[in-house]
């Protein structure tokens, strides 16, 4: 038996920054997706999802996505294709794989990245390819972005592959460093409003990139060097919507810089980090315009019940909210549950993807 496991992630700081090639600070959390498999004597790879209650078959010789509306099958196919594009001489192992996920789907916790990272790690482990975390992340990104044509950045794949809290500079090649633990807990609240990243990212990403490019021309500066005061010199050349967008982008970028500096301290200032979370929520609501009344309500009630700050996590327009709380957040969790009546978890940062061979299924 073989086992692979990859974590969900929350974006703490830097929402809507990864596709702009700026810094992001995600945290891998202990909601995980697990894959268990065994080799079989069949002509196809068989993959079953406990959560979706479905089973699919994939030809090991697949070269391109099949014409299917089944997104689960497309993800599984894309992972295989990505591996084959990088390793021309490999033979995909004939296995029967079972997937069980503890990550809510379409919630802003990167269930799709965890699926691809775990799947690619699983196949690569069986094939003894000895891939490093960055190689797994890049293969998962290739599967989602280049093969499935989902306009994502690289934050999700790198966070799921590496785990912990990281600072990731999304320039090419990405630069990564580990940050200190928050020494506290995070509360995740699911709004029960499903989101589809591809829908949010489509027109929204195009619009944001267009505004950023316009401001870069005006200022003759790259985005990473543009500061709030640079925008004021060109306000008249921007529409109100464009001004709101670029101010939000700069605000999120600067918040992320301050948070990274604070998270390099052995004992980071949790009150400051909470305020920076809420500052980003304001920018996402008022400038990027990807919040919803239910997301704003969750943040508001979370803070009323003792959270230090909070924001939506993921592309927005649905999904989850992450709240930063003191080390013992169990009481806050219960009060939030009572008021909101929504799925709520007290989570901790967790390790990245791992693979085990000769796995004894009875140990679970």
* Predicted model pTM: 0.93
Does 247 have pLDDT greater than 60? yes
* 362 within a domain of the structure (yes/no): no
The domain in which residue 9 lies consists of: 2-180+350-356
Two tokens at 175? 């630069």
Residue 349 DSSP code: B
Query: Do residues 163 and 239 share a domain?
Result: no
Query: Do residues 222 and 269 share a domain?
Result: yes
With cut-offs at 50, 70 and 90, classify the pLDDT of residue 68.
confident
Cα–Cα distances in Å, from 246 out to 20, 208, 289? 12, 8, 12
At residue 298, the pLDDT reads: 98
Residue 80's domain is classified under what CATH number?
3.30.230.10
Query: Do residues 99 and 128 share a domain?
Result: yes
At residue 83, the pLDDT reads: 97
pLDDT digits (tens, 9 = 90+) for 210-241: 999 999 999 999 999 999 888 988 888 899 99
Structural domain count of the chain: 2
* 215 within a domain of the structure (yes/no): yes
Does 209 have pLDDT greater than 80? yes
Handedness of CA 119, 121, 124, 125 (dihedral sign): negative
* 328 within a domain of the structure (yes/no): yes
Does 244 have pLDDT greater than 90? yes
Query: Do residues 51 and 90 share a domain?
Result: yes
User: Which of 33-42, 228-237, 327-336, 349-358 has the lowest average pLDDT?
Assistant: 228-237
Strand duo 45-49 + 320-325: pairing: unpaired
* 41 within a domain of the structure (yes/no): yes
Residue 268's domain is classified under what CATH number?
3.30.70.890
Query: Do residues 170 and 257 share a domain?
Result: no
With cut-offs at 50, 70 and 90, classify the pLDDT of residue 168.
very high
Query: Do residues 171 and 199 share a domain?
Result: no
pLDDT digits (tens, 9 = 90+) for 252-293: 999 999 999 999 998 899 999 999 999 999 999 999 999 999
């Amino acid at each position: 038996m073989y086992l692979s496991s990859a974590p969900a992630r929350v974006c703490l700081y830097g929402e809507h920054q990864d596709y702009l090639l700026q810094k992001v600070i995600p945290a891998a959390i202990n909601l995980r997706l697990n894959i268990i498999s065994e080799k079989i004597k069949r002509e196809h790879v068989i993959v079953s999802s406990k959560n979706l209650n479905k089973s699919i078959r994939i030809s090991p010789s697949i070269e391109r996505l099949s014409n299917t509306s089944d997104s689960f099958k497309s993800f599984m196919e894309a992972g295989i294709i990505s591996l084959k594009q990088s390793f021309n001489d490999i033979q995909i192992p004939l296995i029967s794989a079972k997937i069980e996920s503890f990550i809510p789907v379409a919630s802003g916790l990167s269930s799709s990245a965890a699926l691809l990272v775990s799947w690619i790690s699983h196949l690569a482990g069986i094939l003894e390819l000895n891939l490093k975390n960055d190689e797994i992340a890049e293969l998962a990104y290739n599967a989602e972005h280049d093969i499935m044509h989902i306009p994502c950045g690289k934050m999700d794949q790198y966070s799921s592959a590496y785990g912990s809290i990281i600072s990731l500079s999304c320039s090419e090649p990405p630069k990564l460093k580990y940050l200190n633990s928050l020494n506290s807990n995070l509360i995740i609240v699911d709004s029960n409003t499903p989101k589809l990243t591809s829908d949010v990212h489509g027109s929204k990403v195009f619009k944001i990139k267009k505004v950023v490019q316009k401001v870069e021309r005006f200022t003759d500066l790259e985005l990473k060097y543009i500061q709030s005061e640079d925008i004021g010199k060109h306000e008249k050349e921007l529409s109100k919507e464009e001004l709101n967008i670029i101010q939000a982008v700069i605000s999120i970028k600067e918040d992320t810089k301050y948070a990274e500096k604070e998270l390099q301290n052995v004992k980071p200032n949790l009150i400051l980090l909470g305020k920076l979370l809420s500052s980003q929520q304001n920018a996402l609501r008022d400038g990027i315009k990807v919040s919803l009344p239910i997301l704003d309500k969750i943040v508001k009630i979370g803070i009323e019940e003792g959270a230090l700050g909070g924001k939506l996590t993921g592309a927005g327009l649905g999904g989850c909210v992450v709240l930063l709380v003191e080390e013992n957040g169990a009481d806050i969790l219960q009060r939030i549950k009572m008021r909101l009546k929504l799925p709520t978890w007290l989570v901790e940062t967790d390790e990245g993807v791992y693979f085990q061979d000769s796995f004894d299924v009875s140990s679970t």
